[in-house]
Structure 1
Amino acid sequence: MAAPSVPSVPSATAPTFRIDIPLLPESAAGNALQFIDLLRSANVLASLRAGAASPRFTWRVLDAAGRPLMALPGPLAVYSQADEGTQDAPSGGLAYALFLPSFHAADIPGIRNVASGHQRLSRQVGMALDQGQRVLTVGNGAWLAASSGRLQDRQASLPWFYMAGFERDFPGIHLVTDQDVTDDGPWLSCALPHGLSDMATALVRHAMGDELAQVCASVFRPDPERARAALQAHAQQHIPATRDSTLARAIAFMESHLDQPYSLARLAEAAAVSPRTLLRHFQLELSQSPLDHLHSLRCARAKVLLEVTLESVPSIAVACGYADPAAFRRIFVRYTGMSPAEYRKRHALRAPRRRWRVEVR
């Protein structure tokens, strides 16, 4: 959707709000993953509006005993540790809230068995509430929160099929029948997972203020009227392409002229700014010079050519804008940590040429 962008690195003094997310063996883990995605989106929106000084959410995924779970591998790592671009450790920031997803149980007796089997977690909820934290529940996760004994006279939202059983177990808690999400003091509850975006927006409002909450609400909620207006405005060319920025124009020019000699003046002309302004944009937004970024783009092309072709290193150097193969090798080592030959040896997707020959006997 946009020009290349680099997430702003949060300031060491930027406020952070930690959400603890205990997962039981019975928990609906998808609730937790969806909620973390909403926290990540809130962080992005906060960063877009306030940069490095913006407040942020961090989170810890815990087991039933309150111990942090080990980091998940690969792209799932952000679900068990702090958001990318966040310098704080997963345990960093102000302990702000507990999020209790729903859990799998066949019926009301099954729900009661799960709740009674995790009394330690209910006590943790009570201690968190005593310390001024909030508790967020989805569906039958309300049983674990209510078992803490700290939520008498509060209101909560539950699915209709749980209401009778919950009312018998906790007559002092008032069930709301006309809304899917209830925000009552320290307790935010949603009946079903489709209410998680509204719950996340309410959390943003409490932690970061009304202005950012309004932004989150406009992004998180479907809005057919805005969708139609956006398409209509685009069709009438009232909304310019997001890539039409100084940095985007410069990078687009680089990408289409990788094999040509570098000229700062020519690049600035393509971006429609002065060379000095162009240098400032690259330093401010990418923390590097245009030439450094060009080298990284050229090395990315070189990697592909080394992987999928049998072209010689000097030929690949020319295809990537380097007339001198020795200079290409030096720059490739600087950006990848290995020589072109070593990279090809490790990553080539083509068999060596000698293996193409079939001997006729």
Structure 2
Amino acid sequence: MPAPSVPSATAPTFRIDIPLLPESAAGNALQFIDLLRSANVLASLRAGAASPRFAWRLLDAEGLPITALPGPLAAYSQAAGGAHDAPSGSRAFALFLPSFHAADIPLIRSVVSRHQRLSRLVGLALDQGQKVLTVGNGAWLAASSGRLQDRQASLPWFYMAGFERDFPDIRLIAGQDVTDDGPWLSCALPHGLSDMATALVRHAMGDELAQVCASVFHPDPERARAALQANAQQHIPATRDSTLARAIAYMESHLDEPYSLARLAEAAAVSPRTLLRHFQLELSQSPLDHLHSLRCARAKVLLEVTLESVPSIAVACGYSDPAAFRRIFVRHTGMAPAEYRKRHALRAPRRRWRVDVS
């Protein structure tokens, strides 16, 4: 999917808090975040920078934010201004509880008893009008809050007898992958996460976007066949050219050249004033700001996979002044180039590449 527009400061934001316990099936949470990210992309494609969006926070077992995950998981926890950033003004909308690893019912009960603080957090969220989303045996943590009596839920068949003994006042729906009952959305198994995400979109952003998400999140053999046939008969044209697409394509192929608004506008076949308006309307930033982000993306790759000096990388990214490059890189990434390389380099120092032992 293409990247979403940079959200406007006034765009409504719905925050999802996601506690991760030592026992949690973290893959549930990461898959759900990917679905939220896709929903943000679809919303921005339809409404631009003014579209509503989801944000999310990973929490530990005490309910405190997890600020950084290692390596490729960093994008799921670091607030770097993207779709996953949870701004201070975002509305706490839901709490997502993934399933957790437990071999049997007694072990499930043991996990719940060890995490009573999280059960209380669930109760507080429900008291504040938030929704609670559960996957599989995560339903035990939600139900132990004591706030979901007389509600309905979906569970895998192998948990039903034990759950019913522990919570006889909660009705289990047999044979239903996802149940949406007021403040509680539950899915029996991880394959129901796309349905749960669609239901959450419906609650937060309305039926129209939920229908769009449903059509994207689910396999549709009939549509796939129709698309292939239409493409083969050339009924589907190539993606239409646009001012923004022409400008960004020019930027990407001239990253190491000095910035010129006039030259960029000429490449996009519009006036400089029109080009500025398009960037502000669609991306909520200037062409120069977008160019800086593209250059910093290249710089990160070069810092990760090469041993070139920072001044050399600055030149490769269009900055003749290494000091200016460092300032801009810090602004976009939150750290200096040398620090970024220290944390993310994929190559060892030169001495590790020596063949001799002297």
TM-score by structure 2 length? 0.74
Aligned twin of 2:5: 7
CA distance, structure 2, for counterparts of residue 208 and residue 100 of structure 1: 21
CA distance, structure 1, for counterparts of residue 253 and residue 235 of structure 2: 27
Opposite residue 160 of structure 1, the aligned amino acid is W
Unaligned runs of 5+ in 1: 322-327, 350-361
Which of 237, 240, 245 does residue 248 from structure 1 map onto? 245
More displaced 10-residue stretch of structure 1: 263-272 or 219-228: 263-272
Aligned twin of 1:60: 57
Which of 196, 203, 215 does residue 206 from structure 1 map onto? 203
The aligned length equals 326
Superposed, which structure 2 residues align to 1:137-176 within 5 Å?
A: 137-176=134-173
Do the aligned partners of 2:49 and 2:281 also contact (CA within 8 Å) in 1? no
CA distance, structure 2, for counterparts of residue 283 and residue 90 of structure 1: 21
Superposed, which structure 2 residues align to 1:281-300 within 5 Å?
A: 281=278, 284-285=281-282, 287-288=285-286
Superposed, which structure 2 residues align to 1:88-99 within 5 Å?
A: 89=86, 92-99=89-96
Which of 217, 221, 239 does residue 236 from structure 2 map onto? 239
Q: How far apart are 1:109 and its partner, in Å?
A: 1.2
Do the aligned partners of 2:255 and 2:291 also contact (CA within 8 Å) in 1? no
Distance 1:267 1:167, change over 3 A: closer
Distance 1:280 1:198, change over 3 A: same
Opposite residue 173 of structure 1, the aligned amino acid is I
Q: How far apart are 1:103 and its partner, in Å?
A: 0.6
Which of 96, 101, 104 does residue 104 from structure 1 map onto? 101
Aligned twin of 2:344: none
Opposite residue 102 of structure 1, the aligned amino acid is S
* Residue deviations 1:238-294 (CA, integer Å, cap 9, x gap): 22222633333455567678999999999778756667655654565564459x959
Distance 1:29 1:251, change over 3 A: closer
Aligned twin of 1:71: 68
CA distance, structure 2, for counterparts of residue 261 and residue 71 of structure 1: 35
CA distance, structure 2, for counterparts of residue 221 and residue 84 of structure 1: 29
CA distance, structure 2, for counterparts of residue 224 and residue 14 of structure 1: 35
Quote the sequence identity (%). 78
Superposed, which structure 2 residues align to 1:1-361 within 5 Å?
A: 7-11=5-9, 13-73=10-70, 75-82=72-79, 84-86=81-83, 89=86, 92-242=89-239, 244-249=241-246, 252=249, 277=274, 280-281=277-278, 284-285=281-282, 287-288=285-286, 329=320
Aligned twin of 1:358: none
CA distance, structure 1, for counterparts of residue 237 and residue 224 of structure 2: 16
Opposite residue 6 of structure 2, the aligned amino acid is S
CA distance, structure 2, for counterparts of residue 188 and residue 6 of structure 1: 27
Opposite residue 167 of structure 2, the aligned amino acid is F
Do the aligned partners of 1:7 and 1:85 also contact (CA within 8 Å) in 2? no
CA distance, structure 1, for counterparts of residue 71 and residue 277 of structure 2: 34
Secondary structure of 2:137's match? helix
CA distance, structure 1, for counterparts of residue 66 and residue 274 of structure 2: 47
Q: How far apart are 1:218 and its partner, in Å?
A: 1.2
Query: What RMSD over aligned residues (CA atoms) do the two structures have, in Å?
Result: 4.1
Distance 1:234 1:126, change over 3 A: same
Distance 1:243 1:263, change over 3 A: farther
More displaced 10-residue stretch of structure 1: 54-63 or 153-162: 54-63
Distance 1:65 1:275, change over 3 A: closer
CA distance, structure 1, for counterparts of residue 189 and residue 11 of structure 2: 33
Do the aligned partners of 1:58 and 1:83 also contact (CA within 8 Å) in 2? no
Opposite residue 196 of structure 2, the aligned amino acid is M
Unaligned runs of 5+ in 2: 329-336, 342-346, 348-358
* Residue deviations 1:106-134 (CA, integer Å, cap 9, x gap): 11111111112222211221222122111
More displaced 10-residue stretch of structure 1: 81-90 or 54-63: 81-90
Secondary structure of 1:201's match? helix
Do the aligned partners of 2:48 and 2:282 also contact (CA within 8 Å) in 1? no
- Structure showing greater radius of gyration is 1
Secondary structure of 2:101's match? coil
CA distance, structure 2, for counterparts of residue 31 and residue 101 of structure 1: 6
Q: How far apart are 1:206 and its partner, in Å?
A: 0.9
Secondary structure of 2:61's match? coil
Opposite residue 25 of structure 1, the aligned amino acid is P
CA distance, structure 2, for counterparts of residue 34 and residue 49 of structure 1: 23
